[in-house]
Each structure stands twice: as structure tokens, then as C-alpha cells.
Structure 1
Amino acid sequence: MVKKTQHDKENNGEEYVSTVLSLLDQEENVVSDVQKEIFIDEIKELPPIKEGELNVSGVYAYDAGDKVEVKVYIRNGLSYNLNLQKIPFLIVNSKGETLAAQTFNLSSLGQLPPHSARPVKLYFKKENLKVDKIPADDWEIVLNGEFNVTSKVRPRYEGLPDEISVEDKLVFDKFLDELPEMEEGEFSISTFSVGLQTNGNILVTAVMRNATNKPITINKMPMTVLDKNRRAVKSQNFIMKDFTVNPYRAKVCNFAFPTDVHPENDQALDGWSVVYKLVNIDGGKHIKRV
């Protein structure tokens, strides 16, 4: 067994992040507290990583006959979840010479939370070694070139009214938490509710989520309300004024479609939905079925 012990812990003014142990749910139930303490101690001994960095650090390399077992910690220095897929690794020496090269599918690792470290055992096939054996004191494992990483983002609310009740905030939070996570770079619009108000407006409440690293400003929003039978009822192109969703944030927005129907009480339009495009209206009569 080869144990890695050399670590450069000099801080040259870069912004470093600390990482904490992250195990899969099934591992949490079977890994002993003693083993977890060993993991935590090993993580503390790893060299620091920079904010925004995906890092792999080797702990040991062990010749297991037809393969070489390499224990590593994969650390996520980013501020959002990562899902690793096919990742190419190299084992190199201090001269930069390649000792082994192999690509591993790490999708079974699941989601790697922000600022976390996960222990992994990689098994290099002997056919992928460039040398007879990994030298005891001169090896390092590194990520090789481009690799397939998908980042998952869960935006949080901004701009909720200060006077919102605790109950309403819990409802909005629950809705946001139940939406699927987003890929880095996506923007989405989700319908929170559709209802008919006593003033005759069909009120659509939507939640817009920005999973990009830049603010997104919306100037126009084409929308069509569909009844429970998926028939277009109302269609309108809303002009938005200074409506911006900041990076990794979610914002609530209301849209009102006037009608000539005035119920005695506000009522939810169960089964109704919204498409975010303009659709031709077939006579516009279906609202009378409410």
C-alpha cells in the first residue's frame, strides 16, 4: 500500500474553501462512526482547494493483483450540486509523466453537494498502466482534460413581499422545493396557481427560476390559459417592465386576464393550466363553464 502524505498548505492569497464529508444515503446507514471519523481526519489533511474548483486528491494506491486500487476524495468547491458522469483520470509522477490513464463512470456517486468531499475507490486495470508498478513516493492522481459534469441548481426566492404571512411563505417554499432541480444555465417558468377573482380576472401566479450566473430580464411574456380540457380560454402578450431575476434566484409574478365573469367569491380553477406562448382562441366562450 502506498500512502500519500505530502500536502502543500500555503495560502498565497487565493480564496480557499473547506469541504465536509458527504456520503450517499445508503452509506450513512452502514458506515460506522469510527470510519466516519477516519474520513473526516483524512479530509482535514488534504491540500486546500479554491472556490469554484472540482478536485481529486489521492490517499493511497494498492496493487491488488490484476488491478490497482486507488482511494481518492472527490471534492466539490463550487456553490451548487454536481452530478459526475464519465471522468478521465491520470496518475502522474513529479515529472508530469503519465503512469496510468483510465476513464471512470461516476454516476453511481449521485449528487455531490456544494463544498463537500466524498471518498471513492477507483480500480485501474493493469492494462491501463504505463509502468510496471506505481512508485511508492512519487505519484499523484489528477483530472484529465475535458470531462462530463452536470451541475444542479436549486434557486431560492428573492423579492417576496415583506408582509407575506408565514403560512403563505411556507406554501411558496414547499412549491419551490418540490420543483425539479435545474441544470446550470437554464431558465424556467412554473405555474403556481390559476384562479378566477371576483373582479373578473383570471389570475395566474408563476414562479420564474434563473439557474444562470447572470441576471435575466424579461420584457414580454406571451401566455395562454387552458381549461381542464386543454382548450385555450385566454391569450395575451404581457409587457413586462424592469422584471429581472437575479442569478440562482426565483421570483413570483402575477398575470391578470380580464373576463366578463364575476363570481361571488374567488375560486381556484382546478385542472386549468398555462402555456407560455400565444394560442388562437376558439371563440373565447369557455370561461362561461367556470
Structure 2
Amino acid sequence: MVKKTEHDKENTGTEYVSTVLSLLDEEENVVSDVQKEIFEDEIKELPPIEEGQLNVSGVYLYDVEDKLEVKVYIRNGLSYDLNLNKIPFVITNSKGDVLAAQKFNLSSLGTLPPHSARPLKLYFDKENVKVDKIPEDDWKIILEGNLSITSKVRPRYEGLPESIDIKDKLVFDKFLEELPEMTEGEFSISTFSVGLRKNGNILVTAVMRNATNKPITIDKIPITVLDAKKRAVKSEKFTLDNFTVSPYRAKICNFAFPTNVHPEEDTSLNDWSVVYKLVKISGGKNIKAVKRKK
């Protein structure tokens, strides 16, 4: 067995991140506590990685019949989830000579959370190993070429009122958690609720999610409220004042449509929906009655 024990460390002033052990759910149930401690000790011995870096670090390699087994840790130094697909790995020496090279499909690795490390064994076919013997103290494994990576993002709330009721917060958290993961670079708007308030306003509450690495400012947004029969009853373009969603964050925003209906209590319009575009209201339709939802 050839064990990797030395690492080059440079003091460049670069921001580094710590990574913690992450296992697949099915592995969590079968891997012993002792083995987890071994994994954690090995992670502590790995060289630091930079913020925003995807890294592979080798621990050991040895021959297994017609294969070369290499134990590595895949580490995600980014602030969002990663899903890896076809990844080219190269084993080199200190001179940069290529000792082995092979592309692996890592879809079975699952989603790699932010700032996490996951152990993995790679099996190089001997036909892809270019030397008879890997030097004991002169090898490293690196990622090379075009990487097939799908970046998955789960934005978290920002700007929630400090006075928010804990029950309301749990409801908002549950709603956000149940929304589908986003792909890096996306921006989405999801309708949280539609209701008729005692003051006569139809209140639309939306959750805006930003899965990009830059803040996004919304100046204007068109919204149309549809009744239970999908008929447009209110349509308006709203102007927002300095409404910005930070990178990888979610923010709640309310939109009020005045009506001539004033119920005795705030009423949820559970069968109603919203589309984020302007729709012509046929015949200048007004809301005359809304049945109270229990």
C-alpha cells in the first residue's frame, strides 16, 4: 500500500474553509462510529482548500488484481450543494508527469453539501495506468479537464422580522424546505399564500429565491390573481422599493390588491392562485363575494 502522508501548504493570504464529514443517508446507518472517527481524523490531515474550490485529495493507493484502488476525499469548498457526474481524474508526480488518467461517473456520490468532505474509492483500470509502479512518496491525484458538475442550491431566508412568531417561522421554513432544489444561476418566485384581509385587500405572499452568486434587485413585478375557476380577478404591476435578494438567499414579499369586500375575519383563499404576468380582466370584473374558508 502507498499511503499519502505529506502535503504542500502555502501561506498566500487566501481564505480557506474547513470541511466536515458527509456520508450518504444509507451509509450513515451502516458505518460504525469507529470508522467515522477514522474518516474525521483523515479529513483533519488533508491540506486546506480555498473558499469556492472543488478539491480531491488522495489518501492511499494500491494494486487490486487488474485495478489500481485509490482512496480519496472529494471536498466541496463552495457555499452550495454540488452533484458530480463525469469527472476526469489524473495521478501525477512532482514533475507533472501523468502516471494514470481515467474519467469516472460520480453520480452515485449523491449531493455534496457545502463545506463538506466525502470519502470515495476510485478503481483505475490498469490499461489507464502508464507506469509499472507508482512512487511511494511522489504522487497526487487531481481533477483535470472539463468537469461535469450540476450545482444545486437551497437558498435560506434573509430579512425575516425579528418579531416573527415562532409558529409562523416554522410554517415559512417548512414551505421553503419543500420547494425543489434550484440549479446554480436560477431565480424563482413561489406563491406562499393568497388571502382576503378584513381591510378589504387580497394579500399575496410570495417567496423569492436567488440561486446566483450576485444580489438581484427587483424593481417591478406583474402579478395576476386567479380565482378557483382560474379566472383573472385582479392584475397589476407593482413597483418595489430597493427590494434586493442576496446571493443564495430567499426573501418574503407581500402584495396587496384593494377590493370592495370586507370579511369579518381574515380569510384564506386556498383554491386561488397567482401568475406573475399581467392578464386582461374581462368586463372589469370586481369581487362581490368570497366564501369563507375554514
Which category of TM-score, normalised to the shorter sequence, fits these structures? over 0.9
The one-letter code of the counterpart of 2:25 is D
Query: 1:84, 1:106 within 8 Å by CA — same for their partners in 2?
Result: yes
Shift of the alpha carbon at 1:200? Answer: 2.3
Partner of 1:85: 85
Shift of the alpha carbon at 1:284? Answer: 4.8
Partner of 2:258: 258
The one-letter code of the counterpart of 1:21 is L
Mapped to 2, the partners of 1:284 and 1:229 lie a distance apart of: 17
For 1:1-290, list aligned pairs within 5 A.
Answer: 1-285=1-285, 287-288=287-288, 290=290
Query: 1:83, 1:151 within 8 Å by CA — same for their partners in 2?
Result: yes
Query: 2:91, 2:99 within 8 Å by CA — same for their partners in 1?
Result: yes
Shift of the alpha carbon at 1:153? Answer: 2.2
* Helix, strand or coil at the partner of 1:146: coil
Shift of the alpha carbon at 1:137? Answer: 2.8
* Helix, strand or coil at the partner of 2:47: coil
Shift of the alpha carbon at 1:121? Answer: 0.4
Change (3 A) 1:284 1:8: same
* Helix, strand or coil at the partner of 1:283: helix
Unaligned runs of 5+ in 2: none
Mapped to 2, the partners of 1:95 and 1:279 lie a distance apart of: 65
Shift of the alpha carbon at 1:174? Answer: 1.9
Query: 1:234, 1:284 within 8 Å by CA — same for their partners in 2?
Result: no
The one-letter code of the counterpart of 1:190 is S
The one-letter code of the counterpart of 2:3 is K
Mapped to 1, the partners of 2:170 and 2:76 lie a distance apart of: 30
The one-letter code of the counterpart of 1:7 is H
Query: 1:57, 1:72 within 8 Å by CA — same for their partners in 2?
Result: yes
The one-letter code of the counterpart of 2:40 is I
* Helix, strand or coil at the partner of 2:283: coil
Mapped to 2, the partners of 1:256 and 1:20 lie a distance apart of: 45
Query: 1:61, 1:68 within 8 Å by CA — same for their partners in 2?
Result: yes
Shift of the alpha carbon at 1:147? Answer: 0.4
Shift of the alpha carbon at 1:229? Answer: 2.3
Query: 2:158, 2:250 within 8 Å by CA — same for their partners in 1?
Result: yes
The one-letter code of the counterpart of 2:123 is Y
Deviations 1:253-273 (A, max 9, x none): 111112222322221111211
Shift of the alpha carbon at 1:16? Answer: 1.8
Deviations 1:190-224 (A, max 9, x none): 11100112232211011111122222111110111
- Between 105-114 and 168-177, the greater mean CA deviation after superposition: 168-177
Query: 2:261, 2:289 within 8 Å by CA — same for their partners in 1?
Result: no
The one-letter code of the counterpart of 2:90 is L
Shift of the alpha carbon at 1:88? Answer: 0.9
Mapped to 2, the partners of 1:53 and 1:227 lie a distance apart of: 48
| Root-mean-square deviation (Å) | 1.8
